Structure 1
């Protein structure tokens, strides 16, 4: 693992950059420095597994072995900490690897309370892997925080939420949940993938850990698989770094470079994603073939007031059902799309469409999906940054007259 001196050196670098930057500046400069030997404006891709030592155990700038720390990954991790206003960022080989690291903070007999409307991969990790190790999971609706209060026990050690949730776009009041967790010493982790730190910063609202599937909006170009954690405190960041180092689920230097490059345009992209999505959500809401539209930017969303209070924009994710309630209609619609691409994932510059019950949430048992409202006619859209009229025309022709 990288030594104490290395951590001190990098902390000094971060501290030099801790000025009161606005977010649009942070995505480019936050936690960053020019490469010291050449003055390179962009961080180089350090394709090395190990680092030379002048004498045994004495490290040069704190780098020893790239599993413990790599300069390219470190630049990304410092950027992540900066844009989320956290103490330490960590970059992983996937979003699920990041979730896995958080759960490894727990011990057998500990309990996790998670939001019920949850990404299928996270649900699978919880119920099919970690439940085998005597970690207990409860899934509750967080639309009313009283439901959380009733479920908390002396064994509750972690609360896990998404907001907005995937795929039903429910919101969770992060500040209210933090007010329940903090006095009891319960860790609060927030999956901020849909919103990104451009829209909401959970650590400022009382969360302890923020998680991202950096594959999505942070990378932004559908060309990398990556995950991220940002810890509120140095102590928690150090505990998570040990898990990362010991388990080895790190992000490689080239992928780190791609995510870091993506973050530089995050503000511009999220503005366009949000602008396009709001207009399309309004269009869908008025279409006779559409049943219900799930988008927090709509005044019809039951938590629209919370959205306007907690989020600085409404994001690029929309889900909707068909007025017929027929699965066949949703499949026919998806097959007719021309500009939207039928594919897994989200958050890239291109618009994607997805059938949750058959794709991203297929790992959730059908009974559970029905209970949550993930119906067989539900479609999820990741609205990209293409021309708005082209996207609207595509939806219109796919829905038909």
Structure 2
């Protein structure tokens, strides 16, 4: 009997967690999303979130900009009815693609109700579940056609793998995605598949620890005089209705516009590493607003919520008291 490859083992592991009959590993999360886009009809329209990962946004606009039209849908009150209105008014929508919670503003979409609307209109619905992981949220059980992950993040958990995952219960979709992956050569090689599989063994332990620690840090930041606003899904009734928890993602706004002070906060931390990735055992602090200066004008930053004083935090597996102490000493210097 032929033994499973590491890729097959890792695919099967994630698929069981996501309740997916079919799963595919790619060499990055963006490659996995490309696998979906390549299967859609050209010149169609895709509904996307107003806030989502900048790498996905860049890929869609740069490499698929002439193939598709993108229509952003904001989260918040009435977003399900807005999607229904758009689908009612257009026959050219091929897919609704959303993150929930979103990166980096942590907006939440009503996955179950949107899935019902998409089913009524026979429109593909895909959700990027990277932030919640299958430990806390299962989009396929809520009615989506496809679930997407950047396996680079929480699934691997050690910042040593670049990978992506697609899961579905539709055999026809699986066949299309598999064909797209093989034509592009975007499968995940054996060594990163092995590392991913090893990381998956501790996924549940890691994300529960990150969940609890992020709650304590959110409470601390919310009462700090130098923090003007904390973004977290911990108080979202909608998130609680479709998820059993959340991983260690927080965002916040510092109470100053002094860019010199803003730019040194992350570097003044000792436990928090200054970096743009997320989901690993090491806590990371990203000066997201500073990075977005490269991509957006000042006005666009304000409109999107990515102002200079905006930071994104990925909580790792260190002790909460140590991380809070690290933030305290760094904030004292501002």
Report the TM-score, using the length of structure 2 for normalisation. Answer: 0.94
Whole-Å Cα distance in 1 between the matches of residues 119 and 208 of structure 2? 33
Matching of residue 162 in structure 1 with residue 99 in structure 2: yes
CA 1:169–1:400 in 2, change beyond 3 Å: closer, same or farther? same
Matching of residue 109 in structure 1 with residue 43 in structure 2: yes
The list of structure 1 runs, each at least 4 consecutive aligned residues, that deviate by more than 6 angstroms after superposition, is none
Deviation of the 1:139 alpha carbon: 1.1
Matched with 1:174 is: 111
Whole-Å Cα distance in 1 between the matches of residues 309 and 290 of structure 2? 10
Matched with 1:29 is: none
The match for 1:386 among 311, 318, 329 is 318
Deviation of the 1:365 alpha carbon: 5.6
Matched with 2:73 is: 140
Q: Deviations over 1:23-59 (max 9, x none)?
A: xxxxxxxxxxxxx679xxxx6xxxxxxxxxxxxxxxx
For the 8 Å contact 2:292–2:301, the answer to whether it is kept is no
Secondary structure of the structure 2 residue equivalent to 1:132: coil
The match for 2:61 among 113, 118, 127 is 127
Secondary structure of the structure 2 residue equivalent to 1:235: helix
Whole-Å Cα distance in 1 between the matches of residues 48 and 300 of structure 2? 14
Matching of residue 198 in structure 1 with residue 132 in structure 2: no
The match for 2:201 among 256, 259, 264 is 264
CA 1:147–1:260 in 2, change beyond 3 Å: closer, same or farther? same
Secondary structure of the structure 1 residue equivalent to 2:290: coil
CA 1:100–1:358 in 2, change beyond 3 Å: closer, same or farther? farther
Unaligned runs of at least 5 residues, structure 1: 1-35, 44-70
Matched with 1:53 is: none
Matching of residue 73 in structure 1 with residue 7 in structure 2: yes
CA 1:345–1:123 in 2, change beyond 3 Å: closer, same or farther? same
For the 8 Å contact 1:113–1:140, the answer to whether it is kept is yes
CA 1:365–1:138 in 2, change beyond 3 Å: closer, same or farther? farther
Whole-Å Cα distance in 1 between the matches of residues 293 and 118 of structure 2? 28
CA 1:347–1:184 in 2, change beyond 3 Å: closer, same or farther? same
Whole-Å Cα distance in 2 between the matches of residues 223 and 140 of structure 1? 34
Deviation of the 1:364 alpha carbon: 5.3
For the 8 Å contact 2:156–2:200, the answer to whether it is kept is yes
The 5 Å alignment of 1:209-224 reads: 209-224=146-161
The match for 1:328 among 253, 260, 269 is 260
Q: Deviations over 1:133-184 (max 9, x none)?
A: 2x11111203222222233321001001001111111111100111111111
Deviation of the 1:333 alpha carbon: 1.3
Matched with 1:150 is: 85
Count residues with an aligned counterpart. Answer: 329
Matching of residue 187 in structure 1 with residue 119 in structure 2: no
The match for 1:357 among 289, 295, 304 is 289
Question: CA-atom RMSD, angstroms?
Answer: 1.7
Whole-Å Cα distance in 2 between the matches of residues 316 and 270 of structure 1? 7
CA 1:219–1:362 in 2, change beyond 3 Å: closer, same or farther? farther
Whole-Å Cα distance in 2 between the matches of residues 242 and 360 of structure 1? 35
**Greater displacement, 314-323 / 146-155:** 146-155
Secondary structure of the structure 2 residue equivalent to 1:169: coil
Q: Which has the larger radius of gyration?
A: 1
Unaligned runs of at least 5 residues, structure 2: none
